[in-house]
Amino acid sequence: MKKVGVAILGMGVVGGGTYKILKEHRELYQKSYKVDLTVEVVLERDRSKALALGIEEDRIAANIQEICSNPDVDIVVEVMGGVEPAKTFVLDCLRAGKSVVTSNKELFCKYSHELEAVAKKNHCGLFYEASCVGGVPVIRSLLDNLQGNNILSMMGIINGTTNYILTKMAEEGAAYEDVLKEAQRLGYAEANPAADVEGYDATYKLSILSSLAFHTKIPYTKIYREGITNISVADIEYGKKFGYVLKLLAIGKNGENGIEVRVHPSFIKSSHPLASVGDSYNAVYITGDCVEDVMLYGRGAGALPTGSAIVGDIIYCATHTNYQYSTFKNTEEAAQSTKFVENFESAYYIRLNATDRTGVLAKVSSIFAKCKISVAQMLQERGPVGEDGATPVIFITHVTRENNIKKAVQLINESEEVAKVAAVIRVVS
């Protein structure tokens, strides 16, 4: 039987999950795939973490060189996260002829070209299914199932922490800060939650997924980003009255005018398949010119779901000799000629806190007309239920352009008849 040795860099949640899966399924893999997968060595600064998992003392490497020079190691799993030292370690391993399986979205999003060039030069595999949406098979689906399509759009709930927070806010009517604290207590959110709640994590993943979908390189810096820190329960509740559910969506579109990529809170119709993706579940909704609509749904994080994606890549790597899977279907040159749409089209939810109820409608209507915004629906709550005793007035616009909305918000805020624009949320269909 073919023997394949694995090294794991980082024995945190995902490293531990991967170790557990490999250990407990060893016989299944021997029987089903004719391959004997063993964890030969791990790298973890905090040795107690590795020891607690039952790893023998002499299988904890002192440094990356011990792994690079170990002839029994064929595949290195990098689950440390962050750019350094992960990047240096991955490059060292590739140069030593080891194939790499990584869950590191930040590293792969920022340095995929460099990593892939080194992997190619050294005839090594480089696999990253676990970098996006945990156990949900989205990367390989884009590469090996939907690759015959012109992908027209993708919309994803690709961050579990924010989806958990928004689900709880909607279900319990609890404030953002309170739900965040609860999520931190349960381990669903980090002590410093910025990467999740400010949308960075989703941006890294969207960069990888949209690069694959649109056959070019989409730098994460080109992605419009807006987090959920300013979302109020009031807006979630008003949205329900219009039949909307609030989600942090990662959106990619490939149209005539170029590519449009953005991560922001979005209202979607409660009948949309993404609307019922709750708690820490993730899903990606892809539309291709041949396949029409496809949705891939599941656990976007966690020791075993992410470990499932990593082990899937390990088995693929161990049983295939052709590593074309690991390369982006694009070049740096393609990226430079890619056009990006920034003044994108959307419908909008706009909540005003009106101090002068009789005057506001006339004034706002004239501003909307001036900015070429037409209103689809309006809701005016009776009585002073808003902040500062003001009356909330809510507009849902027809599809318009981002710059028109920006201009209108500015004009409304400058107007004396209207207290302020309290919320602007894009409505996605």
What is the binding site for a copy of itself (CB under 8 A)? 17, 21, 25, 28-29, 31-33, 129, 135-137, 140-141, 144-150, 215, 273, 276, 288-299, 302, 304-305, 307-309, 311-312, 314-316, 319-322, 324, 329-330
- Of 149 and 380, which CB lies nearer to a copy of itself in the complex structure? 149
Q: Minimum distance between the CB of residue 214 and a copy of itself, rounded to whole angstroms?
A: 10
Q: Give the SS3 label for residue 289.
A: coil
In angstroms, rounded to a whole number, what is the distance separating the alpha carbons of residues 234 and 242?
13
In angstroms, rounded to a whole number, what is the distance separating the alpha carbons of residues 215 and 32?
34
- Of 150 and 257, which CB lies nearer to a copy of itself in the complex structure? 150
Clarify whether 205 is annotated catalytic. Answer: yes
8 A C-beta contact, residue 81 and residue 109: no
8 A C-beta contact, residue 104 and residue 79: yes
- Of 106 and 129, which CB lies nearer to a copy of itself in the complex structure? 129
8 A C-beta contact, residue 116 and residue 325: no
Token digits of residue 27: 């016989």
The catalytic position among 205, 217, 222, 253 is 205
Q: Minimum distance between the CB of residue 89 and a copy of itself, rounded to whole angstroms?
A: 23
> Treating both helix axes as pointing N-terminal to C-terminal, what angle do 26-33 and 303-319 enclose, rounded to 10 degrees?
30
Scored b (16 or more CB within 10 A) or e, 183-195 reads beeeebbeeebeb
H or E element that contains 129: none
CA atoms within 13 A on the CB side of 403: 4
In angstroms, rounded to a whole number, what is the distance separating the alpha carbons of residues 254 and 149?
12
Place of tokens 């590593």: 323
- Please count the helices (runs of H) and the strands (runs of E) in the chain: 16, 16
Q: Give the SS3 label for residue 292.
A: strand
In angstroms, rounded to a whole number, what is the distance separating the alpha carbons of residues 355 and 391?
6
- Of 136 and 394, which CB lies nearer to a copy of itself in the complex structure? 136
Q: Minimum distance between the CB of residue 285 and a copy of itself, rounded to whole angstroms?
A: 9
Q: Minimum distance between the CB of residue 147 and a copy of itself, rounded to whole angstroms?
A: 5
- Of 180 and 314, which CB lies nearer to a copy of itself in the complex structure? 314
Q: Minimum distance between the CB of residue 283 and a copy of itself, rounded to whole angstroms?
A: 8
- Of 5 and 227, which CB lies nearer to a copy of itself in the complex structure? 5
Alpha helices in 371-418 (DSSP H): 402-414
Q: CA separation (Å) from 282 to 86, 155, 230, 296, 428?
A: 26, 11, 22, 8, 17
Token digits of residue 303: 């020791």
Q: Give the SS3 label for residue 395.
A: strand
Q: Minimum distance between the CB of residue 100 and a copy of itself, rounded to whole angstroms?
A: 17
Cα of 57 vs its chain's centroid, Å = 36
Q: Minimum distance between the CB of residue 134 and a copy of itself, rounded to whole angstroms?
A: 8
Which conformational region is residue 286 in: left (phi greater than 0), alpha (psi within -120 to 50 degrees), or beta?
beta
- Of 287 and 404, which CB lies nearer to a copy of itself in the complex structure? 287
- Of 311 and 373, which CB lies nearer to a copy of itself in the complex structure? 311
Q: What is the DSSP letter of 316?
A: H
Place of tokens 């949900």: 136
Q: Minimum distance between the CB of residue 153 and a copy of itself, rounded to whole angstroms?
A: 14
Backbone angles phi, psi at 12, to 5 degrees: -80, -150
Q: Minimum distance between the CB of residue 152 and a copy of itself, rounded to whole angstroms?
A: 13
- Of 175 and 296, which CB lies nearer to a copy of itself in the complex structure? 296
Supply the residues annotated as catalytic.
205
